[in-house]
Structure 1
Amino acid sequence: MFNMKLQNYIDWDVKPVFKRNDRNKFAYRVVLQFMDGTKHTRMYSGFGTKKEAENARKITIRELAGGTYVVNDSVKVRDFLSYWLEYDIRKRVQSSNTYDSYSSIVRHHIIPAIGNKKLTEVNKGDIQRLYKDRAGYSKSIVRQVKTVMNVSFHFAVSCKLIPVNPAEGIDLPKTVDSKPYHTRNIDVAKTLNMEQILLLLEASKNTPIHMQVLFNVLMGLRRQEINAVKYSDVDYINRTLTVERQLGKELDRVPNSRKESMTKKELPLKTPSSKRVLPIPDYVFEAILEERKKYEKYKSRRRTIFQDNSYICCSSYSGKPRSKDFHWRHYKELLKKTGLPDIRWHDLRSTYCTLLLSKDFNPKAVSKLMGHAKELITMDVYADNANIIPEEIPELLSYMNEVMPNKSSHKDAERNVQDILIDVDGYLPEKETGAEKSSD
């Protein structure tokens, strides 16, 4: 494909300009030296005058001194993107979801447009035309194209394949709502209020996805995290849940048999920050205890076929974890039955986050609960507080009082909301502790 080792030179020398007798043109040579003592020489020629060659030589010296010199200046975009997918994305992700998404965008939307151009020749105009063309195809697709272009070309800069990222600072066409990277606006119509959440919780009790609903809307777990939660992850003394795995599809995994599931493999979490210890609300803790009783009953009745792998959200017949789309039919039926808005499953997680942020919970604490890599992501993705939460939604305290019974007084409830939902030490400033807030 191309030799990335050429970028690992440890010393360099730029030879003086000379005149080529064979072509009556001016040229100069760059000599790169490597750790093993080998050298690589490149010649730049075709200059009509000595002055032109001298100016180009000065630019090359500046690039070498500044670390922006590009050795592989003939790499095609298609070859680079294939390299990026295999040697960056594949190494950084365990699940096939991200890899497949990025690969699809590269193959179907970027390579057909600029794949044959040299990487060093791609300019801002090329990027703008790409975005304009893909915006006419799909607003969703063009946003993904922008993400892939930014991430991949940033990698190209780090590999010294290009001196600067031409995709940086390029906005989407005006026909597409401008959104900074890693942001998403929350539509009020796609976020449940307190009354609607309580209605959903009650209606889900008689369905196979009750625990999945609780883990989503009351603890903010991702879909693949929910399906991977085990009873062994629960600290029954301190009432906490350790989130340390997800279920998904491994990259390039070949099943050993036809019966082996490809999408229920235990995988590392999305990011290191996704591993977290969450306080369990009383309502959820009691539900876990009840679900455990059922689990033991199923295991006892079906000793020969029940797989005792400790998954909380599992089949009552086999003990196998739920598939990634198991909840979908039941969830849609719940929304229709209760008359709730037809929102996505992931919008329940967004609801959980925005409810906390709308009541001025510390963003770092909320980010920790959500398993986000940075506080910025939580704020950017979820915290458009002026538009997310309607004014008529009740206080967060009232909500937590109802979903977490046995809180005897307003002051106790307010303090316990923070004790249960937020790890106060290290995240909430002292002025926001329960004792001080109750005096406001």
Structure 2
Amino acid sequence: MNFDLTLQQYVDWEVKNVIPIKGKYGYRVILKYMDGSERSQQKAGFLTEKDANVARDITLGELYAGKYVVYANVRVKEFMEFWVEEDIKHRVNSNETYDTYRNIVYNHVIPALGSRKMVDINRGDIQKFYNERAEYSVSVARLVKTVMNVSIRYAVEKKVIADNPAIGINLPKKVAKKQYHTRNIDTQKTLNMEQILVLLEASRNTPIHMQVLFNVLMGLRRREINGVKYSDIDYINRTLKVQRQLGKVIDTKKEDFAPNTFTKQEVRLKTPSSYRDLPIPDYVFEAILEQRKIYERNRSRRGKQFLDSGYVCCSNYGKPRSKDFHWKYYKQLLQENSLPDIRWHDLRSTFCTILLKNDFNPKAVSKLMGHAKELITMDVYGDNRGIIADCVDELQPFIDEVLPDPDEEMELATENIDVMISAEDYLI
């Protein structure tokens, strides 16, 4: 399905009088455009002249209100296919997000509603659809609700339908309401101060040491970590510019890429706010310098076999890490050191929660985490002020250890060498 998107961009209109059409009654709507062209739409099939005039009055009201439906015969299947490919594919930065939307559309929306016309979908249809999906899977039902809300808003914008029938339609009461972009943190799924230090030390002799540091001490996302290059580092000011992630390019095929590179392409970050400059803790900065020495030795030894792309987290041949490379080593670290069996992403939660618990400015924490809104940080990570309560007294030593020393910074400033960013000033 390919919409002519210019059809909705009319600047004037005219509604003709009701006339007999093939034994029944109808009327024409003339849409007028900036370039002087006109397009006619016929409304016919009314049994009586009175019925046709009532419909004509409704059409006039819709045109005056800016709610006239330009694409009256479009079916749900046609619209959803168009929306996923022409809107979602070009609007989201993540191949995973695109795949999720597409899967929901083709596996759930189209089978249930695909043959219906968009203009015929009502609130009852959507409520019934939500109820059925909730019986199938609560998580799928939530995704379906998101897809329907986003797609129907787009349909209203493009004048495929006049009003949004999904507004105010909720999932069944048995599905616990989940606030947008929120997640309750289980205290059993974050690390305390002592556990963090154990993990840092234990990871030293593993291939994922730098990945652990970027996660728990700087709050980078998994794919952002794999995309960090030495060229992103400001060695004078000790800052890191987060400006890419590694993943799949949307709507591409594996055979279009060299072996083992399909999921390691440089792609845009999750949101505009994900592009950020971060102060590098001293602990991490020293590790980066050591890792750079290893990188240079490998480049010298491997010669032409070495892929000199500058990734901090890479193999001995310079090849970037895959998104799941850390998993085996990470799980082994947790098991061997009697640490809680938490997800990799929970290390990022630990980082953010520690900052919030230590009364760092939530707006600054949001910037460090690369969240689009301050509200998201507080909802996701700050909903429980008792989180990591057993390590509150130890937080300041932790911050002192891994963030630049203010006294050293003042000493450098007196020598007119601007080589450090005050972590305190940056975060407040």
Query: Does structure 2 conserve the Cα–Cα contact (< 8 Å) formed by 1:73 and 1:161?
Result: yes
* Structure 1 position 206, deviation (Å): 1.6
> How many residue pairs are counted as aligned between the two chains?
416
Structure 1 letter corresponding to 2:314: C
* Structure 1 position 259, deviation (Å): 2.4
Structure-2 residue corresponding to 1:433 = none
* Structure 1 position 418, deviation (Å): 9.7
Query: Does structure 2 conserve the Cα–Cα contact (< 8 Å) formed by 1:31 and 1:41?
Result: yes
* Structure 1 position 304, deviation (Å): 3.0
Query: Does structure 1 conserve the Cα–Cα contact (< 8 Å) formed by 2:404 and 2:422?
Result: no
SS at match of 1:385: coil
Structure-1 residue corresponding to 2:308 = 308
Task: Work out the CA distance in 2 between the residues paired with 1:161 and 1:359.
Answer: 50
* Structure 1 position 53, deviation (Å): 4.1
Structure 2 letter corresponding to 1:93: V
Describe the shift of the 1:258–1:192 C-alpha distance in structure 2 as closer, same or farther (beyond 3 A). Answer: same
SS at match of 2:391: coil
Task: Work out the CA distance in 1 between the residues paired with 2:388 and 2:380.
Answer: 18
Structure-1 residue corresponding to 2:68 = 69
Query: Does structure 2 conserve the Cα–Cα contact (< 8 Å) formed by 1:217 and 1:351?
Result: yes
> Which stretch has the larger CA shift, 190-199 or 252-261?
252-261
Structure 1 letter corresponding to 2:208: I
> Which stretch has the larger CA shift, 393-402 or 42-51?
42-51
* Structure 1 position 242, deviation (Å): 0.4
Structure-2 residue corresponding to 1:392 = 390
Deviations 1:294-350 (A, max 9, x none): 11222222223222211110002x111111110011111111112222221112112
Structure-1 residue corresponding to 2:276 = 276
Task: Work out the CA distance in 2 between the residues paired with 1:164 and 1:180.
Answer: 24
* Structure 1 position 252, deviation (Å): 3.4
* Structure 1 position 43, deviation (Å): 3.1
Structure-2 residue corresponding to 1:219 = 218
Query: Does structure 2 conserve the Cα–Cα contact (< 8 Å) formed by 1:230 and 1:311?
Result: yes
Describe the shift of the 1:406–1:422 C-alpha distance in structure 2 as closer, same or farther (beyond 3 A). Answer: closer
Describe the shift of the 1:400–1:298 C-alpha distance in structure 2 as closer, same or farther (beyond 3 A). Answer: same
SS at match of 1:74: coil
Task: Work out the CA distance in 2 between the residues paired with 1:234 and 1:246.
Answer: 15
Query: Does structure 1 conserve the Cα–Cα contact (< 8 Å) formed by 2:123 and 2:165?
Result: yes
Q: Does 1:7 align with 2:8?
A: yes
Describe the shift of the 1:256–1:283 C-alpha distance in structure 2 as closer, same or farther (beyond 3 A). Answer: same
Which of 404, 417, 423 is equivalent to 2:426? 423
How do 1:199-210 and structure 2 match up within 5 A?
199-210=198-209
Task: Work out the CA distance in 2 between the residues paired with 1:405 and 1:237.
Answer: 13
Deviations 1:368-405 (A, max 9, x none): 11112222322333331346x14333243233134458
Structure-2 residue corresponding to 1:238 = 237
Structure-2 residue corresponding to 1:365 = 364
Structure-1 residue corresponding to 2:194 = 195
How do 1:38-49 and structure 2 match up within 5 A?
38-47=37-46
Structure-2 residue corresponding to 1:83 = 82
Task: Work out the CA distance in 2 between the residues paired with 1:19 and 1:265.
Answer: 61
SS at match of 1:205: helix
Describe the shift of the 1:174–1:340 C-alpha distance in structure 2 as closer, same or farther (beyond 3 A). Answer: farther
Describe the shift of the 1:92–1:221 C-alpha distance in structure 2 as closer, same or farther (beyond 3 A). Answer: same
* Structure 1 position 47, deviation (Å): 4.6
Task: Work out the CA distance in 2 between the residues paired with 1:335 and 1:401.
Answer: 25
**Structure 2: which 5+ runs fail to align?**
412-419
Identical-residue share of aligned pairs (%): 59
Describe the shift of the 1:341–1:176 C-alpha distance in structure 2 as closer, same or farther (beyond 3 A). Answer: farther
SS at match of 2:28: strand
Deviations 1:22-75 (A, max 9, x none): 54x554332111233222222334556655544433332232122221111111
Query: Does structure 2 conserve the Cα–Cα contact (< 8 Å) formed by 1:358 and 1:385?
Result: no
Task: Work out the CA distance in 2 between the residues paired with 1:418 and 1:185.
Answer: 33
Task: Work out the CA distance in 2 between the residues paired with 1:94 and 1:391.
Answer: 37
Describe the shift of the 1:82–1:276 C-alpha distance in structure 2 as closer, same or farther (beyond 3 A). Answer: same
* Structure 1 position 419, deviation (Å): 3.1
Structure 2 letter corresponding to 1:155: Y
Describe the shift of the 1:68–1:181 C-alpha distance in structure 2 as closer, same or farther (beyond 3 A). Answer: farther
Q: Does 1:296 align with 2:299?
A: no
Deviations 1:101-141 (A, max 9, x none): 21111111211111111112222222222222222222222
Deviations 1:183-218 (A, max 9, x none): 222222222222222222122112111110111111
Task: Work out the CA distance in 1 between the residues paired with 2:164 and 2:358.
Answer: 39
SS at match of 2:60: helix
How do 1:150-189 and structure 2 match up within 5 A?
150-189=149-188
**Structure 1: which 5+ runs fail to align?**
429-440
Deviations 1:235-285 (A, max 9, x none): 111010001111111123344565251011111212222111000111111
Task: Work out the CA distance in 1 between the residues paired with 2:159 and 2:21.
Answer: 33
| TM-score between both structures, scaled by the size of structure 1 | 0.87
SS at match of 2:183: coil
How do 1:308-387 and structure 2 match up within 5 A?
308-316=308-316, 318-386=317-385
Query: Does structure 1 conserve the Cα–Cα contact (< 8 Å) formed by 2:404 and 2:423?
Result: no
Task: Work out the CA distance in 1 between the residues paired with 2:404 and 2:396.
Answer: 12
| TM-score between both structures, scaled by the size of structure 2 | 0.89
Describe the shift of the 1:181–1:344 C-alpha distance in structure 2 as closer, same or farther (beyond 3 A). Answer: same
Structure 2 letter corresponding to 1:324: K
Structure 2 letter corresponding to 1:14: V
Give the aligned CA root-mean-square deviation in angstroms.
2.6
Query: Does structure 2 conserve the Cα–Cα contact (< 8 Å) formed by 1:369 and 1:422?
Result: no
Structure-2 residue corresponding to 1:56 = 55
Describe the shift of the 1:356–1:404 C-alpha distance in structure 2 as closer, same or farther (beyond 3 A). Answer: closer
Task: Work out the CA distance in 2 between the residues paired with 1:118 and 1:422.
Answer: 57
Task: Work out the CA distance in 2 between the residues paired with 1:350 and 1:222.
Answer: 10
